[in-house]
Amino acid sequence: MNIHEFQARELLASAGVAVPRGAVARSPEEAESIARSLPCNSFVVKAQVHAGGRGKGTFKDGFKSGVHLVKTPAQVRDVAARMLGNQLVTHQTGPEGKPVHAVLVGESTEIARELYLAIALDRASSHPVLVASREGGVEIETVAEKNPAAILREQIHPGLGLQPFQARKASIFLGFPSTGLRAPCRLIHAVYRLFLERDCSQVEINPLAVTKGGDVVALDAKLNFDDNALFRHKEIEALRDASQEDPRDLAAAEHHLNYIGLDGDIGCMVNGAGLAMATMDLLQAAGGRPANFLDVGGGASEQMITAAFKLLQGDPRVRVIFINIFGGILKCDVLAQGIVAACRTAAPRVPVIVRLQGTNVEEGRKILRESGLKLTAAEGLTEAADKAVAAARGK
């Protein structure tokens, strides 16, 4: 789960990380009054969306940049008025962008250096990893590509935790003098503690700024949380902003479906995460593009199958539905009943390719055959994928 920058700042501040003064506003007037209450003479106004790259983003109406530096509270109000209710498009949002319902109004910081600091999960080693770079303010992926030596990656032993020498090593790498390591080390430890205590999958501060006065402050913060740990962080779950999430993902979550929306046009319904991954690979290999990952799981009920089928049907990207089920715990006849029930409420608007194997396969096929629905049956996996790709191309 993602949260907004203004929420991430509060969590960082409560962990002991310095952030510039500021507050969130949901109207231009509120933005102006926050600016008037800040003891400074230049301000930053930042669009709050669940995406990075806001500074270089562009709003749907052509207004440039989701991060503005301005001089007066009246200008804060004007910039907020342009942002609120608008859609911000960045390289992370997709072409439709994300809606802006809030802006962060803060004091503008006099920046001497922009650094990068993150704690993430390294899946290869199954360890948290501390990532640091002196080249902050730009995408870390770009730094990794152009100048990989500028990035320090320090593995953290999950049992021992972040060691003091590791925080010192990172601080020195970030260019702090050996006589001034205390503040950055304290900050790095605070960030690691936050990562652990809140079950984050990532804490990214980019940029971490060194101010002209020599302070170290987090100017931007991106926090991601492990969905599987949210049950023990109700305070984090309460920060969810559904307006920033893919409506397809929200509908899937409502029915407890393991679903991830993608960009292609072949809607997939599969049981088992492994088979679902393999199905997407096969579609790619056959020249097609999946519109989603969907694992209906082993214990799916008829209602869940119906909900899953409706979800695929309702996705305007989908040009063909590909059902690939290996009946084990989920029996083929239960699946067939679910599909028939879904089609009774709304006839399929796209071709449906079905590959069934396993438990109760004959009963399942019979239900589909006798339903009168126009379905294309397939037996082999490759054959099924080829049929789905051909159907997506309108053949």
Q: Which positions are catalytic?
A: 116, 204
137 binds ligand ADP (CB under 6 A): yes
Q: Determine the interface stretch with ligand ADP among 32-40, 106-114, 273-281, 370-378 (rule: CB under 6 A).
A: 106-114
Q: For ligand ADP, which stretch binds (CB under 6 A), given 103-111, 142-150, 334-342, 371-379?
A: 103-111
Q: Which residues contact 22 (CB under 8 A, 6 or more apart)?
A: 6, 9, 34, 38, 44, 104, 105, 106, 107
- How many angstroms separate the CA atoms of 176 and 101, rounded? 38
Shortest spacing between CB 141 and Mg ion, in angstroms: 13
Site for ligand ADP in 27-66 (CB under 6 A): 44, 46, 52-55
Interaction mask 215-254, ligand ADP, x per CB under 6 A:
----xx----------------------------------
Residue 220 in the binding site for Mg ion (CB under 5 A) = yes
Q: How far is Cα 372 from Cα 117, in angstroms, rounded to an integer? A: 59
Other CB atoms closer than 10 Å to residue 39's CB: what's the count? Answer: 6
Burial of 148 (0-12, 13-18, 19+ CB in 10 A): exposed
Tokens of 106: 């803060």
- Report cis status (omega within 30 of 0) of the bond before 207: yes
Nearer to ligand ADP, 54 or 255 (CB): 54
Residue 169 neighbours by CB distance under 10 Å: 18
The stretch near Mg ion (CB under 5 A) out of 214-222, 276-284, 326-334, 363-371 is: 214-222
For residue 114, the cross-strand partners are 209
CB of 82 to ligand ADP, least distance (A): 17
List the single partner that 358 binds among ligand ADP, Mg ion, none, CB under 5 to 8 Å by kind: none
The reply to whether 93 sits near ligand ADP by the rule CB under 6 A is no
Asked if 59 and 86 count as a contact pair (C-beta separation under 8 A), the reply is yes
What is the distance between the alpha carbons of residues 339 and 362, in angstroms, rounded to a whole number?
16
5 binds Mg ion (CB under 5 A): no
Residue 108 contact among ligand ADP, Mg ion, none, beta carbon within 5 to 8 Å by kind:
ligand ADP
Note the residues at the interface with ligand ADP (CB under 6 A): 20, 44, 46, 52-55, 67, 106, 108-109, 111, 114, 137, 206-207, 219-220
